[in-house]
Structure 1
Amino acid sequence: METLFPFDKIRPGQGQFMDDIYRCLSTKKNYVVHAPTGIGKTVSALAPAVRYALENNKTVVFLTPRHMQHKIVVDTLRAIKCKNPDIDLSVANIVGKRWLCMLPDAKRLNSENLSEMCKKLKGADKCPHYKKIFKKSGDLSPAAVSVINALKENIMTSEDAKDLCNANGMCSYEILMQYLKESNVIIADYYHMLHPFVQKMFLSKLEKDMGDIILVIDEAHNVPGRARELMSSHLTSEVLDKAIKESDKFGFNDISKQLRKLKNDVGEYCIKHTGKEDEKLAKKDFLVNIVKKLYDDFNQFVNELVIAGDIVTNERKVSYIGGVGKFLLDWCGPDLGFVRIVKTNRNIMGVLGFEVCYDCLDPSMLTKNLFDKLHSTVLMSGTLTPVNMFMDVLGLDKLLTESLVIDSPFPRENRLILIKDDVTTKFTERSEEQSYKIAGNIVKTINNTYGNLGVFFPSYNMLNTVYELMSQFTIDKEILLEARGMTKGDKKALFKRFSSFVGTDKSAALFAVVGANFSEGVDFPGELMNAVVVVGLPLERPDIKNQALINYYEMKFQKGWDYGYTYPAMNKVMQTAGRCIRSETDRGVIILMDKRFLWNPYRGLLPRDAQIYISGDLSAELSEFYRI
């Protein structure tokens, strides 16, 4: 089995990429690779990983954060199978249970609540789709075996598998879970390996030792943030209100009284403790002591909430009482690597509320244990620099990890990066004059860019401030605005409107926010976005949580500002800039609109292989580029 690479031509950088992965798998090492768009990351990872897995009876689990990327992986595996028809390739493509479940309202539930509902329905023999899969003996039914055989014979997307199962009246999630143990390649979401609760169920169905799994993670720059989210827990006054109503409805009178007192006492503490500030650091004991005043035994109180929550979920899909119990359990977790914060806020009706936060600072508390148990892990992304930061932050053993930084394979002359050093969004220098200068530079860019472009701001406030100034200028494109809180339908409609200008004599400028809906995870191929403007540096607000993150990484690595503040902001910048060039024939301009991009360390984090210039006459520079 010399190679499984399915295409005739190997792109620059792909050969070393594939050789390195196979060698790392052979020595049980991890591999971190920064590979820009155009390298062909998916096939470069899959070809050697699948080859090694088939040779050594291992299983490849390929994680990707977006459902649309599953199709790319499926197509790549189909190409590998087509080029190598004799290999025994069995592929399971799974997504979250709520996207596969045929029951009404499944998409509204989180994974734990949906799993609890499924468990109860199956236990009561009330799920018709599940019943068709098994005989009374517990063995698979002949119809289920037939469906699983069809999955073996064809590399299917999760949508294809769902349609096949639905046509046979069967639960597609359960069929895919039964098929897992017979698969040697599994395409899954981050949740399946990162979420502790989901991971446990996933691995039980896979029936493989962790040491027999090769994990490939695409868009791996998302892993630190995703892991922190999964390890964090919040409790709000609104959730307590819902838990109280739930207690009243189900006749839990004692719990209702205790939750009312809990809400009152926590609210009083938050208001008093925060004073004139919106948020303050808190200690574990404050909440534990409040609970102990209500109920002598903290653990017993939590247990009663959990039991009441179980009773509620026999009739409802979600229990807020159970949610309060889970939060109190989380709150008593580790101190190191976490921060506890209390906040006060007013809702849209002006009612004062509070939030109690137990936030994870250190994603390695989740990922290190995972990576240490696996055969090998491959982490890849187009924005995975500096690679040492990702190794540190995720807890990878540097003695067992190799890395590679690949330059862009696209023609250098197709991408121009301009830095406008006459403006800044630096907080201490913000003014009406600065906003007007920024607006003027954006207008020059809009009027001298061929076709569509994207203009990305560090915040919605900045976006709205600049947009309000647009009426003072003459603009030859339609401006489309991303808004805070857009629904999936809203985003789809806006993207469709933006796309509709391609191939016409009109064009548009999309005003959006870095790190929101359109700066990452959305492809703008061909002439869909011919220029990208990044206005300012998307540095996180210096709030208590971010300061705690800086302090934590200073203590752990002596790199607090780098790991907690600067590098994450520049990764967002480069993710956003990457919307512009998606293939070797694309041409585009990236304009970084802030003088700080010339400062260290920001300048040193820009692509080493790009042509970067300080902009003088922006209109002339753009006209010259698009005339070539």
Structure 2
Amino acid sequence: MSNVIKVSVRNLVEFVLRSGDIDNSFMSMSRALEGTKAHQKVQKSYGYEYEPEVTLKHSVYYDDFTIELQGRADGILTYEDEVIIDEIKSTTKDLEDIEENYNELHWAQAKCYGYIYSLQNGLDHIHIQLTYFHIELEERKIFKRKYTKEELEEFFLSLTDKYIEWASITFYWSETRDSSIKRLLFPFNNYRKGQRELAVAAYKTIEERKSLFAQAPTGIGKTMSTLFPSIKSIGEGITSKIFYLTAKTITREVPIASMEMMIKRGLRAKTVVITAKDKICLNDEVKCNPRDCVFAKGHYDRVNDAIMDIFENEDLITRDVAIIYANKHNVCPFEFILDVSLWADVIICDYNYVFDPQVYLKRFFENPMENYVFLIDEAHNLVDRSREMFSAEINKSSFLDIRDIFKEKYPPIYKSLNKVNSILNKLKKDLEIDGEYYQREGIDDLYYPIKKLMTVLEPWLIEEKNNEEYDKVLELYFNLITFNKISEFYDSHYVTYIKESSKDLVLKLYCIDPSYLLKEALSRGRSSILFSATLTPLDYHMDLLGGKDGDYNIKLSSPFPRENLCLMVADSISTRYKDREKTYIDIVRCIESFIEAKKGNYFVFFPSYAYMTNVYNLIMDRNQDINIIIQDGSMSEVEREEFLLNFEEENNLIAFAVMGGIFSEGIDLTGEKLIGAIIVGVGLSQICFERNIIKDYFTHNLGEGYEYAYVYPGMNKVLQAAGRVIRSPEDRGAILLIDDRYGTKEYKSLFPNEWLGAKNIRNDIAMKRILERFW
């Protein structure tokens, strides 16, 4: 049976015939909606002779495969003596400036529909009509051409012949890829303990179109255990594409290394790493228009050649590889890599490209239930990340700051800004807000004035690009777009949260429970594997991360020998906020005794910067020659790398860092680079208004508010920090947990299996004795 390649008429035309510049200068965000209204107005202006939104399908057969084309003609007019294919285009451009040859792509799409319709209805000739509809004036300009079926056939086949070059490359590529996958063996000589179990569970989950929630400690090899069976499922025709999703740039190195390893063992699979626009842009400043960027100018004239070049020569396309080809072909690397990803087998990217409603890759997710697999790394991070993605806020000052720009020349904008401002003032007064406030209901009075403000701002943003305040106005506009989008999701999973601070008022649509929105996003694929060393407790994570009835979960034990870890608990010391002043000296003595037992490098993790600084000052007063480095709250990527470079063998280093920060997860310090960690506290976030909103919500809905808001997220930070110590089968290390709550049943129940032999210590002498025996 021939291979079937499906493509829409629009995508076919745009891909083969695209040309010109990238120009992301401001375009009206409401144009799509207005365009739909324009289509409807034109369609309703005709009588029975006009059939709107006609779906047309056609297959083109080649030797080895079939191209299935589908599209929808805006309208077909049928008279006694002629048939007209109508293509409607909405515009704000002056109709007098639009000539017949204004845009050949507009004609091309309609000509394809004309060919399919004339072929299927036995017509010798047909008329093609372009209707340009001016959105504001509601006027139209019509161009009409007559074509014979032979003329349209020649044009249509010239397009498909050009597309077939691509279709054949992807068809023959899939044969090469699949035969290499069938030969591919697991890239290690042996499976680690738990690794085969996870790989088998992942494959079964993909096969059955379900989700798997996997808690798998460090060392099992989670990345390979999920990537390898996913790759195998591509070879079996079960899966069409894999998305490997990460929370942080640094964690992308592991899947990249895993793909490299399989490629060295014979795998042929196109892997693309999508890097954020500002991190791959070749200019000093991101300005995507032909005036400011040489890569944007004429990008579409050159990009197909660039895609063909990289596709034929590279299997693993990282940021650096993409930049080499972007420079070679003089194209925008970001847009180039997004196009290349359409032909990729594996896409490695940030969570937001699948989940964030503002930036997710719509090109992949237009059709529901595609055969995609989502591999979600460090899935515990997705809880808070998704709350951010599905929330939005506005602040009063952003309206006031730009108001005077419009006072004289643009009264409608000035009036709209005042309207939003007056609603916020009224809210503050009516609700008697002093500090912080929240309610379950949305503020319905606010949504329409914000939409109105967006509408009146759009002409100004199109016309006033040289205004010195332009960027400030544009920033507010995009913020309103986000706010408007999120307001459409608002329901019982949200609250409206209002905060007054230093003469400003912030109003936030806060998504407390993102589970149903994540569930919706995950349904765009076939199957999802969510994995982390810390999904404790599993029920909590399955609940918040969009788990469904019938989904699988698996909890694996550490593959490393238990005797390699010395875990101690100092549960006689309180680190609660009210007790900290009294116990600083106890913490310092614990650190001194812990590092005295063996020279080497240690991490000490704290619940906050303030706590860390106070302990740091005290320990430095008592130990003048100790080698301590301390995490700064605003470190650049270079400074982070320099911080980690201090972890060389025999450095006798003590590194102070905060739990839940950049050094408490996603870093690998194997062997003697790190031999121990002290964890001060139970990882609780500071009690704050937002966390208390979460607490209230889950107390009301599940009776577990404090656990969902504080205990479980805190314990995951603890487990992540502790996971820095043992990174390989050869590693040996010690961990000290300091807090009296570790002695309670509630916290002990959250300990992983390998922690169940923890030794309680009551004093420094006992700790020294245990450590001496261990080392």
Matched to 1:234, the amino acid is E
1:476 and 1:445 map into 2 onto residues whose CA distance is 17
Q: Does 1:509 align with 2:509?
A: no
Decide which of 322, 335, 338 is 1:177's aligned counterpart. Answer: 338
Report the equivalent of 1:388: 539
Query: RMSD of the alignment, in Å?
Result: 3.1
Matched to 2:343, the amino acid is E
**Alpha-carbon distance, 1:333 to partner:** 4.8
Question: What secondary structure does 2:393 align onto?
Answer: strand
Relative to structure 1, the CA distance from residue 179 to residue 297 in structure 2 (aligned partners, 3 Å threshold; closer, same or farther) is: closer
Decide which of 324, 328, 342 is 1:167's aligned counterpart. Answer: 328
Relative to structure 1, the CA distance from residue 298 to residue 180 in structure 2 (aligned partners, 3 Å threshold; closer, same or farther) is: closer
1:529 and 1:482 map into 2 onto residues whose CA distance is 16
Report the equivalent of 1:44: 225
2:514 and 2:283 map into 1 onto residues whose CA distance is 34
Decide which of 428, 436, 442 is 1:279's aligned counterpart. Answer: 436
Q: Does 1:255 align with 2:413?
A: yes
Report the equivalent of 2:312: 149
Q: Are the counterparts in 1 of residues 420 and 449 from structure 2 also a CA contact under 8 Å?
A: no
Q: Does 1:68 align with 2:250?
A: yes
Q: Does 1:89 align with 2:89?
A: no
Which residues of 2 match residues 41-440 of structure 1 at below 5 A? Answer: 41-56=222-237, 58-83=240-265, 85=266, 88-106=268-286, 118=288, 121=289, 127-131=293-297, 133-135=299-301, 141-151=304-314, 154-203=315-364, 210-244=369-403, 247=406, 252=410, 254-256=412-414, 258-259=416-417, 262-263=420-421, 266=424, 270=428, 278-282=435-439, 289=445, 299-305=451-457, 308-309=460-461, 319-323=474-478, 325-326=480-481, 329=484, 330-331=486-487, 333-346=489-502, 352-399=503-550, 401-427=551-577, 429-440=578-589
Relative to structure 1, the CA distance from residue 544 to residue 306 in structure 2 (aligned partners, 3 Å threshold; closer, same or farther) is: farther
Q: Are the counterparts in 1 of residues 211 and 552 from structure 2 also a CA contact under 8 Å?
A: yes
Relative to structure 1, the CA distance from residue 332 to residue 53 in structure 2 (aligned partners, 3 Å threshold; closer, same or farther) is: closer
Q: Are the counterparts in 2 of residues 63 and 187 from structure 1 also a CA contact under 8 Å?
A: yes
Question: What secondary structure does 2:628 align onto?
Answer: strand
**Alpha-carbon distance, 1:8 to partner:** 1.2
**Alpha-carbon distance, 1:472 to partner:** 4.4
**Alpha-carbon distance, 1:579 to partner:** 1.4
Question: What secondary structure does 1:404 align onto?
Answer: strand
Relative to structure 1, the CA distance from residue 202 to residue 94 in structure 2 (aligned partners, 3 Å threshold; closer, same or farther) is: farther
- Segments of structure 1 that go 5 or more residues without pairing to the other structure are 107-116, 347-351
Return the structure number with greater strand share.
Answer: 2
Relative to structure 1, the CA distance from residue 567 to residue 91 in structure 2 (aligned partners, 3 Å threshold; closer, same or farther) is: same
Question: What secondary structure does 1:378 align onto?
Answer: strand
Relative to structure 1, the CA distance from residue 243 to residue 383 in structure 2 (aligned partners, 3 Å threshold; closer, same or farther) is: farther
The percentage of counterpart residues that share the same residue type is 26
Relative to structure 1, the CA distance from residue 208 to residue 75 in structure 2 (aligned partners, 3 Å threshold; closer, same or farther) is: farther
Q: Are the counterparts in 1 of residues 399 and 417 from structure 2 also a CA contact under 8 Å?
A: yes
Relative to structure 1, the CA distance from residue 472 to residue 99 in structure 2 (aligned partners, 3 Å threshold; closer, same or farther) is: closer
Return the structure number with greater helix share.
Answer: 1
Which residues of 2 match residues 553-568 of structure 1 at below 5 A? Answer: 553-568=698-713
**Alpha-carbon distance, 1:385 to partner:** 2.3
Q: Does 1:462 align with 2:611?
A: yes
Cα deviation 1:86-109 (Å, max 9, x = unaligned): x54222222222222223323xxx
Question: What secondary structure does 2:510 align onto?
Answer: strand
Question: What secondary structure does 2:682 align onto?
Answer: coil
Instruction: Normalising by structure 1, report the TM-score.
Output: 0.85
Relative to structure 1, the CA distance from residue 619 to residue 356 in structure 2 (aligned partners, 3 Å threshold; closer, same or farther) is: farther
Equivalenced residues, count: 587
Q: Are the counterparts in 2 of residues 74 and 156 from structure 1 also a CA contact under 8 Å?
A: no
Which residues of 2 match residues 475-624 of structure 1 at below 5 A? Answer: 476-496=625-645, 498-499=646-647, 502-504=648-650, 506-610=651-755, 611-618=757-764, 621-622=767-768, 624=770
Relative to structure 1, the CA distance from residue 312 to residue 233 in structure 2 (aligned partners, 3 Å threshold; closer, same or farther) is: farther
Comparing both chains, which one has the higher relative contact order based on Cα–Cα distances under 8 Å and sequence gaps of 6 or more? 1
Matched to 1:42, the amino acid is T
Q: Bigger CA drift: 453-462 or 221-230?
A: 453-462
Matched to 1:196, the amino acid is P
Q: Are the counterparts in 1 of residues 246 and 350 from structure 2 also a CA contact under 8 Å?
A: yes
Q: Are the counterparts in 2 of residues 4 and 51 from structure 1 also a CA contact under 8 Å?
A: no
**Alpha-carbon distance, 1:180 to partner:** 2.0
1:444 and 1:306 map into 2 onto residues whose CA distance is 65
**Alpha-carbon distance, 1:360 to partner:** 1.1
Q: Are the counterparts in 2 of residues 538 and 569 from structure 1 also a CA contact under 8 Å?
A: yes
Q: Are the counterparts in 2 of residues 288 and 298 from structure 1 also a CA contact under 8 Å?
A: no
Cα deviation 1:499-540 (Å, max 9, x = unaligned): 3xx234x42222221112321233333323322111112223
2:409 and 2:284 map into 1 onto residues whose CA distance is 27
Matched to 1:340, the amino acid is T
Relative to structure 1, the CA distance from residue 619 to residue 525 in structure 2 (aligned partners, 3 Å threshold; closer, same or farther) is: farther
Question: What secondary structure does 2:257 align onto?
Answer: helix
Relative to structure 1, the CA distance from residue 381 to residue 306 in structure 2 (aligned partners, 3 Å threshold; closer, same or farther) is: farther
Relative to structure 1, the CA distance from residue 279 to residue 617 in structure 2 (aligned partners, 3 Å threshold; closer, same or farther) is: same
Cα deviation 1:226-268 (Å, max 9, x = unaligned): 11111111223453354446657x9545534653675577368
2:528 and 2:739 map into 1 onto residues whose CA distance is 37
Report the equivalent of 2:200: 19
